[in-house]
Structure 1
Amino acid sequence: MTLDMFDDLEHGGLRQQALAPGALLLRGFAVADDKALLDALRDVIAVAPFRHLVTPGGFVMSVAMSNCGALGWVSDRSGYRYDAIDPNSGRHWPTMPAAFLRLAQDAAREAGFNRFVPDACLINRYEPGTRLSLHQDRDERDFEQPIVSVSLGLPAVFLFGGLRRTDKPSRVPLTHGDVVAWGGPSRLRFHGVLPIQEGHHPLLGACRINLTFRQAA
């Protein structure tokens, strides 16, 4: 079955929304696992606390970051890259929790990507007013593998653009537990997040957590 952009489909009791060929929004997919995910997140952050990375141009990112898995995404004056070592601690990143891996693979399969084995999970913490500019995920070696993005906490507006930065992006409202998976012809689409609005979530307070899974190596 081919879905038109933003058509909704009920599948196994889940609400799905096609964003583009190869890109699927799974509404509420992570809600049932949210407490397990947040418990695992606390363990990760205890070992690799959030930090504000510096871009190659010398700007400090407003979104705080951490990582787990075999590889972590880092940025500094020398560039963007994946590294097995947390530069803050000099140790390997925390192991990806089983709850993270299970959810990422389940969501990828739901979107039609059956062989996804993520080795990196980027963890972003957004506070009100923070945003993420339009960008492509190009630091991975295999663009055949999808990106799986999990939203927890405050709502956000996800910008999902085209293959050129100048393509006008669609605005996709995301709430707690929503998961977006994109790959195939959509793998290199530009995407970002509009500034987070003030609010309070019962589990996370005044912030949004985004878990982004990649197969980087």
Structure 2
Amino acid sequence: MRGMTADLFDGLDDVGPAREPLGPGAMLLRGFARPHETELIAAIEAIITQAPFRQMVTPGGHQMSVAMTNCGSFGWVTDRSGYRYDPVDPESGKPWPAMPPLFRKLAEQAAREAGFPGFAPDACLINRYEPGAKMSLHQDRDERDIGAPIVSVSLGLPATFLFGGLKRTDKAQRYRLLHGDVVVWGGPARLAFHGVAPLADGEHGLLGRRRINLTFRRAR
């Protein structure tokens, strides 16, 4: 039986994104997620009713400016004891909300479009940026298998994405990410340093003074 979910999946198959290479193993897919903005935002709102956004604390005791939550089999968390993936939300003591099928399909399709077929994410970090929030340059290396790519979806206010090399000292290039853009990196770029410059103030028609970022990973 074909219902709404199947129809959404068909729509993803029809998307023909503008591909913008960022380097070997890294690709920016302009507007890839935009056809399903309404469904994605509704799914995010449902998730945060179960697992609200929170500003986590790093092992060094710094409170992050970005608010976070998760969905999927595992959630990324940080506190004074370290960075890790956990199947349980430490605030509620319950499993993280299930990853919506549309999220999974979007991540799989974006990874395939960027040259990484067979991606099966089991974790989705949901980050909320408000004006002034930022993400310092870092590597995603808490995953057990770094053979899988990272898929990052931008919604809401524009952001300046910083994408560097395999060393923190490598110069990071700056890319303006708009609502619906998706960045995928893996292979030789999998451990590239990346971050987000402080978010400029503004007003987005669907998300107001916010940027929401979905980051899909294979944690286990």
Using the size of structure 2 for normalisation, the TM-score is 0.93
List gaps (5 residues or longer) in structure 2: 1-14
| 1:172 match: secondary structure | strand
The answer to whether residue 116 in structure 2 is matched with residue 108 in structure 1 is no
What do the CA deviations read for 1:157-212 (whole angstroms, capped 9, x no partner)?
Answer: 00000000000100011000000000000000000000000100000000000000
Q: Which residue of 2 aligns with 1:42?
A: 45
Q: Which residue of 2 aligns with 1:20?
A: 23
Q: Runs ≥4 in structure 1, deviation > 4 angstroms?
A: none
Report the Cα distance in structure 2 between the residues aligned to 1:32 and 1:158, rounded to whole angstroms. 22
Q: Which residue of 2 aligns with 1:74?
A: 77
Q: Which residue of 2 aligns with 1:137?
A: 140
What do the CA deviations read for 1:51-108 (whole angstroms, capped 9, x no partner)?
Answer: 0000000110010000000000000000000000000000000000111111000100
Report the Cα distance in structure 1 between the residues aligned to 2:177 and 2:16, rounded to whole angstroms. 19
| 1:43 match: secondary structure | helix
The answer to whether residue 34 in structure 2 is matched with residue 31 in structure 1 is yes
One-letter code aligned to 1:212: T
Report the Cα distance in structure 2 between the residues aligned to 1:121 and 1:93, rounded to whole angstroms. 10
Q: Which residue of 1 aligns with 2:57?
A: 54
Report the Cα distance in structure 2 between the residues aligned to 1:30 and 1:13, rounded to whole angstroms. 11
Q: Which residue of 2 aligns with 1:200?
A: 203
Equivalent residue for 1:177, pick from 169, 180, 193: 180
The Cα shift of 1:14 comes to 2.1
One-letter code aligned to 2:190: R
RMSD: 1.0
Report the Cα distance in structure 1 between the residues aligned to 2:155 and 2:101, rounded to whole angstroms. 17
Q: Which residue of 2 aligns with 1:3?
A: none
* Identity value in percent: 66
List gaps (5 residues or longer) in structure 1: 1-11
